[in-house]
Amino acid sequence: MFAPAIEVPTTLADTAARLGTSSISPFTIGDETELLLLADGGLAGFVRRGRWAIMATSPVTPHGTEDIALAEVVDRLRRERLRPVFAAVPDPERYTARGLHVHAIADDAVVHLDGFSLAGKKRASIRHSVTSARRAGLTVEPYGPEHADGCAAVSEHWLRTKRGGEMGFTLGRFDPETMLRTDCRVAVDDSGAVVGFVTWHGYDDGRGRVLDLMRRAPDAPNPTMDLLIGDSLLSFAEDGIERASLGSVPRSKGKLAERIYPTRTLHRYKQKYAPEWQTLYLVAPSRLMLQPATLAVARAYSSNGLLASVKRNG
């Protein structure tokens, strides 16, 4: 019934980017994903952990068929004796109407780009960082084959500080081939050396962008990341893109959870861009299953095991 976890044809990734209206939609498909191809032409992808089928967000489906697609996904999974859990959805009412339990789990940092600029008080710190980076001789270039070795070296250095290695699920992993299929922007110094990069995915038929990888060399100037993100947002606004997500930040669950994923630090950083924070919800089969469903989601992120993820920032 299910398509196995294989290299996904570009057409399916394009479908997810075109039909998905959530910033989580581009992560419907991933390295471990099993696919459900839906009757309406949409799709859903899930990561299997035991009897749990863990989906990043709502099924990606043509407008107006969301309820039908959700019913099909839930029914097909249950017939296979799999418990459905959706990690982050923006539309909780659709799920409560089916008797599922929803729980606020994260906040998505969305920057609306109509008239966007770095001028004014609310983004002053970003403006100063961008100016400082440019004075230090940094420029931003679109990713090309000439940047491959430099980006690989930056990523390797970054991973050395994360003892649990790469996470997954709705967090991308560095891969040179994938870089060519994303909107990747590279910061280079005045000698042409790569000092950092970011990747963005499109969603909502090109109207949105979502930030994925953020990596810089250990000796890169401090404002490198602000330059990469600020320059990207200005470019998107100029191109008529409606909004850009800086990524969702899980709600803090205490010290142990902070070691796995530093939510408070991320929230403070993204707040500098003055985003609109939009609530995302975890969906479990019932209130009683919320805790094991949350654990299943954590296991989906931690392909090397939860223990490794706990160690990664320790």
Q: Would you write out the chain's pLDDT as a tens digit for each of its 314 residues? A: 454 444 445 578 889 999 999 999 999 988 788 999 999 899 999 999 999 999 999 999 999 999 999 999 999 999 999 999 999 999 999 999 999 999 999 999 999 999 999 999 999 999 999 999 999 999 999 999 999 999 999 999 988 876 555 566 667 778 877 788 889 999 999 999 999 999 999 999 999 999 999 999 999 999 999 999 999 999 999 999 999 999 999 887 655 555 655 788 889 999 999 999 999 999 999 999 999 999 999 888 876 544 444 454 44
Alpha-carbon distance of 245 to 243, in angstroms, equals: 7
pLDDT at 30: 82
Instruction: Give the CA distances from residue 147 to residues 30, 152, 187, in Å, rounded to whole numbers and listed in that order.
Output: 24, 8, 10
CB neighbour list of residue 243: distance below 8 Å, 6 or more residues apart: 110, 111, 112, 113, 207, 208, 209
Nearest CA to 35 out of 50, 49, 48, 51 is that of 48
Nearest CA to 165 out of 32, 7, 305 is that of 305
Nearest CA to 195 out of 228, 234, 162, 167 is that of 228
Alpha-carbon distance of 78 to 84, in angstroms, equals: 8
The residue behind tokens 């969305």 is 110
Tell me the Cα Rg of the chain: 19
pLDDT at 309: 47
Q: What pTM, to 2 d.p., does this model score?
A: 0.88
pLDDT at 164: 52
pLDDT at 253: 65
Give the number of other CB atoms < 10 A from CB of residue 227. Answer: 28
- Domains of the chain: residue spans and CATH: 10-106+279-311 (3.40.630), 109-278 (3.40.630.30)
Q: Within the chain, what is the greatest distance between any pair of CA atoms? A: 60
Nearest CA to 201 out of 23, 1, 9 is that of 23
pLDDT at 124: 96
